[in-house]
Amino acid sequence: MKQILKSSSLCGAMLALSMSTALAVDLELYFPVAVGGDAANTIQEMTEQYMAENADVEINAIYTGSYADTTTRAITAARGGNPPHLAILSAVDVFMLQDEGLVEAWDSYLTKDELETWVGGFYDAFRANTYKDGKTWGIPFQRSTPVMYYNKDAFKAAGLDPEAPPSNWEELIEAGKKLTVRDDSDNVTQWGVRIPSSGFPYWPFQALAIANGAELMNEEGTETYFDQPAVIEALEFFVDLSKKHEIMAPGIVDWGATPRAFLDGETAMAITTTGNLTNIRTNATFDLGVAMLPKNKQYGVATGGGDFFLFKGHDEESTRAAIDFVKWATAPEQAATWSIATGYVAPRPDIWETEKMKEYVREAPGALVARNQLEHAVAEFSTYENARVRQILNDAIAAAIVGEKSAEQALKDAQSEADAVLKLYRQ
């Protein structure tokens, strides 16, 4: 009799476990890791914490490579009838995702109060790329701006004030000359400044254009302004840093190698994403400074990074579970953990009010630079056929830097090519 009761109990437990598993909502999340830091581990820890607090939800977090890799994989899966529930994708892909009809606007699943207090609580600069046609297509999460990292010890050695980094282009050139160090054979052992021109060259270049009072595209994603005088002037300045002023290494400067080059003392100043802040701050063997990008006519940067996108093709229960996870992940405590671990900018004011974020800022005051710079930020370069149009711009930047074309000719040619692509999208 005891054996029968024991077997019966075991069967009951197995049935209960089976029912529990059957009732669980299984979510798939694609995410990229485009910078240094501890992003992958932090995402995994966050999903595990959420599942521990929500036993009826299973989240399979899949690292899918770069932003481009992640977008390609998500689109391929969606076209094949197996879309992820969520993907952290570059905010600039919004036009393509809309055009393909692969993602849902978040608005129809949210109450008026949620739209006002949750969605409306993100910084406007981070919402700019994915708020289109009166709807919210992306929820800011892995967001950034470019900032200028500088070596305070190198500033002291050059006779510069380490608490007064360059605030404009003229000061950047002056400081860059003093910070460029050559040995007895006239070989450069330390460059004054490093601005990447591979990987994502359009992004730091867009910051230069904005600082010169120009914009590269319209809000509707149907026009570019590459051949405008202020844009041409910005590219000429970019080229002159190495060719005329000789304060930056000649040729194409690698994006991915920039943090290491800065940490190794190959350059005294480096412009790259705030998403590298934790990596650089942790590994710097010198007194680190972080500053806003120097202005010319005005201060300005473009935002960058990724949003949560909600994919079509799922039942309402799993879609709402996906939304609940995103609301949890962007809540102050979790978002603060993410920002501290990675260096990405906390995308809501209330995150900065948490005790852990206040403590972090006391230890790493440079984290405030990117937040304060949002006052001068605009949407990252984004158009229809964005990958094609962006590559046209990237190629023009490269052609000017290596001397194949003048800045003016490169950008005029790029404008003609972009017009040919985008004319189909103009009303």
Q: Which two tokens stand for residue 90?
A: 């570059």
The model's pLDDT over 366-419, given as tens digits with 9 standing for 90+, comes to 999 999 999 999 999 999 999 999 999 999 999 999 999 999 999 999 999 999
Predicted pLDDT of residue 34 = 57
CA nearest neighbour of 131 among 168, 94, 170: 94
Inform me whether the pLDDT recorded for 11 exceeds 70: no
Which of the pair, 39 or 276, is modelled with greater confidence? 276
Helix (H, G, I), strand (E, B) or coil at 133: coil
Query: Which amino acid is located at 270 in the chain?
Result: A
**How far is the C-alpha of 355 from the C-alpha of 95, rounded, in Å?**
38
**How far is the C-alpha of 194 from the C-alpha of 187, rounded, in Å?**
17
**How far is the C-alpha of 90 from the C-alpha of 68, rounded, in Å?**
8
Mean residue pLDDT of the chain comes to 92
Predicted pLDDT of residue 88 = 96
Contact yes or no for 57/326 (Cβ under 8 A)? no
Q: How many CB atoms lie within 10 A of CB 9?
A: 10
Average pLDDT, integer, range 217-233: 97
CA nearest neighbour of 173 among 159, 191, 196: 191
Predicted pLDDT of residue 41 = 87
Helix (H, G, I), strand (E, B) or coil at 400: helix
**How far is the C-alpha of 210 from the C-alpha of 197, rounded, in Å?**
17
- Through-space distance between the first and last CA atoms of the chain, rounded to whole angstroms: 81
Angle at 36 between CA 355 and CA 392, to 5 degrees: 120
Q: Which residues pair with 142 in a beta bridge?
A: 306
Contact yes or no for 87/27 (Cβ under 8 A)? no
Q: Which residue is it, tokens 């990596």?
A: 279
CA nearest neighbour of 73 among 32, 129, 41: 32
Predicted pLDDT of residue 23 = 54
CA nearest neighbour of 237 among 296, 315, 309, 288: 296
Query: Which amino acid is located at 310 in the chain?
Result: L
Predicted pLDDT of residue 7 = 40
**How far is the C-alpha of 31 from the C-alpha of 48, rounded, in Å?**
15
Helix (H, G, I), strand (E, B) or coil at 86: strand
Question: Could you tell me the domains of the chain?
Answer: 25-144+304-378 (3.40.190.10), 146-302+384-425 (3.40.190.10)
Environment class of residue 107 by beta-carbon count within 10 Å: exposed (0-12), middle (13-18) or buried (19+)? middle
**How far is the C-alpha of 226 from the C-alpha of 214, rounded, in Å?**
9
The model's pLDDT over 326-352, given as tens digits with 9 standing for 90+, comes to 999 999 999 999 999 888 999 999 999
Q: Which residue is it, tokens 């026009």?
A: 223
Inform me whether the pLDDT recorded for 157 exceeds 70: yes
Average pLDDT, integer, range 265-294: 95
Contact yes or no for 303/378 (Cβ under 8 A)? yes
Average pLDDT, integer, range 153-167: 98
